[in-house]
């Protein structure tokens, strides 16, 4: 299956230009990443299926006569004396049926992501942002001044992750303004403009703590990365 892209060439250019401009005044290196999603959440889907199975079995135990009468109706049975094996088979059938129903329903991305708790989305996006940062930006600059702006589109979450020297000088709360400016545009559907706004705010903060040196080199790509 082809990877979904959210930005066209013009949008990529907007972000790339914003990064290049922001880095003119700082030795910091800004990396921007847009991901379709940060996880497949198969474990969450299976958890919902397991819950459906448990509820189905609980229903069978709570309302056994209803289950047996329904089953008898389908088979046009009279005064059926059910064996233990048949009763267990009916309960197992009900459990398997609802497990499969929940699994098939969650094949729809819209339904699956709607059923994922917000805290789980936030945690998974944070973990994936750190993973991308470790691979693509952490300790890859001379002064360890890399910082990543990461968007995960399906979860509607964003993260700003910085190298240790930046994190030691700049409190995480400081990035709140950059995040707010970025999300204000993104919520209006202006993804590239939102990322560019976040980049500009990050650049201003970095220029205060990590001004650009005369011999500074561009060590990380300015282009937007879609994964």
Residue 83 binned pLDDT confidence (cut-offs 50, 70, 90): low
Lowest-pLDDT choice from 65-79, 110-124, 187-201 = 65-79
Query: Which residue spans of the chain are classified as CATH 3.10.310.50?
Result: 9-40+118-226
* Percentage above 90 pLDDT, the chain: 39
Q: Which residues of 57-71 are buried (b: 16+ CB within 10 A; e: fewer)?
A: eebbeeeeeebbeeb
Residues 6+ apart with CB under 8 A from 112: 41, 44, 45, 106
CB 223 within 8 A of CB 16: yes
Cα–Cα dist 62/54, whole Å: 12
pLDDT averaged over every residue in the chain: 84
Give the Cα separation of 178 and 125 in Å (integer).
18
3-state secondary structure at position 178:
helix
What average pLDDT does the segment 100-121 reach?
A: 92
What is the pLDDT at residue 218?
A: 67
Share of the chain above pLDDT 70, in %: 86
Residue 219 has pLDDT above 80, yes or no: no
Token pair of 139 as six digits:
């300790």
Q: What is the pLDDT of residue 90?
A: 77
Which pLDDT tens digit goes with each residue over 111-158? 999 999 999 999 999 999 999 888 866 666 666 888 899 999 999 999
The helix/strand/coil state of 139 is coil
For residue 78, pLDDT beyond 60:
no
Sign of the Cα pseudo-torsion (131, 135, 136, 137, in order): positive
Query: What is the pLDDT averaged over residues 79-108?
Result: 82
Check pLDDT > 60 for residue 1. Answer: no
The 10s digit of each residue's pLDDT in 36-72 is 999 989 999 999 999 999 988 888 778 777 766 666 6
- The top-level CATH class assigned to 9-40+118-226 is alpha beta
């Amino acid at each position: 299956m082809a990877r979904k892209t959210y930005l066209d060439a013009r949008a990529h250019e907007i972000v790339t230009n914003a990064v290049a401009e922001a880095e003119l005044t700082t030795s910091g290196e800004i990396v921007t990443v847009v991901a379709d999603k940060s996880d497949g959440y198969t474990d969450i889907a299976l958890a919902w299926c397991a819950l459906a199975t448990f509820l189905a079995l609980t229903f069978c135990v709570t309302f056994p006569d209803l289950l047996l009468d329904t089953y008898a109706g389908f088979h046009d049975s009279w005064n059926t004396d059910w064996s233990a094996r048949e009763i267990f088979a009916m309960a197992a059938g009900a459990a398997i049926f609802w497990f499969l129903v929940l699994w098939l329903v969650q094949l729809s991305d819209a339904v699956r992501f709607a059923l994922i708790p917000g805290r789980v989305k936030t945690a998974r996006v944070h973990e994936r942002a750190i993973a991308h940062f470790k691979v693509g930006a952490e300790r890859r600059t001379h002064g360890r001044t890399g910082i990543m702006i990461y968007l995960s589109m399906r979860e509607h979450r964003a993260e700003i992750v910085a190298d240790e020297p930046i994190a030691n000088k700049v409190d995480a709360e400081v990035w709140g303004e950059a995040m707010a400016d970025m999300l204000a545009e993104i919520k209006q559907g202006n993804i590239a403009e939102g990322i560019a706004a976040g980049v500009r705010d990050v650049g201003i903060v970095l220029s205060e703590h990590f001004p650009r040196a005369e011999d500074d080199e561009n060590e990380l790509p300015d282009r937007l990365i879609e994964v």
